[in-house]
Amino acid sequence: MARGRALPESENISLRFVPRQNCTKPTHTQPTERAREAAEKGISMSSSAAGDGETVRASHILIKHEGSRRKSSWKDPDGRVISATTRADAAARLLDLRNQILAGQANFADLAARHSDCSSARRGGDLGSFGRRQMQKPFEDATLALKVGELSDLVDTDSGVHIILRTA
């Protein structure tokens, strides 16, 4: 896989590009209502979901759009802006943010805090540690394909469009 450009010295991490992932609907079946709902979202109910014990830590920036499963966010509680945002518009915004990061013009955490539709924005996009089957499959696959310090290309999930920075 081609290596991306390194972030400026102030960021002190290098980046590589990861191919865009397409969203696929999970097909889990669970006996309880709560587990069924989690499975529909592509999330495991297991607290130690990493089948092989592998855990990762990542930060992300999520931009929701009209096709997102939940059309509201901390920034847009009524979902008016999200419902009017096309997937192409969301992708263009994320590509601009990604280019700013790669060019050393902006810090990932600062951009996540200002632009991400995920509540992790208040933590600079930090999702904490997670293992297999705890995130939607395209997000998990993209994160696991990254090396520490690498920034993904665009990743589509049922939640919207993401860029992911693997931090551990």
The values of phi and psi at residue 89, to 5°, are: -65, -45
Is 156 within the bounds of a domain?
A: yes
List average pLDDT for each run of 10 residues in the chain, which is 168 residues long. Answer: 45 48 37 44 40 82 97 95 97 97 96 97 95 93 94 96 96
Range of the domain at 114: 33-166
The CATH number assigned to the domain holding 114 equals 3.10.50.40
Catalytic one among 44, 65, 152, 162? 162
Is 129 catalytic? The answer is no
Long-range contacts of 43-48 (CB under 8 A, 24+ apart): 43/133, 43/134, 43/135, 43/136, 44/132, 44/133, 44/134, 46/133, 46/134, 48/131
How many structural domains compose the chain?
A: 1
Catalytic one among 73, 118, 134, 152? 118
Distance CA 139, CA 108 (A): 18
List helix spans (H) across 16-86: 33-40, 80-83
Is 52 within the bounds of a domain?
A: yes
Is 18 within the bounds of a domain?
A: no
Is 129 within the bounds of a domain?
A: yes
Question: What is the pTM assigned to this prediction?
Answer: 0.69
- pLDDT tens digits for 58-92? 999 999 999 999 999 999 999 999 999 999 999 99
Structure tokens at 97: 């943010």
Is 142 within the bounds of a domain?
A: yes
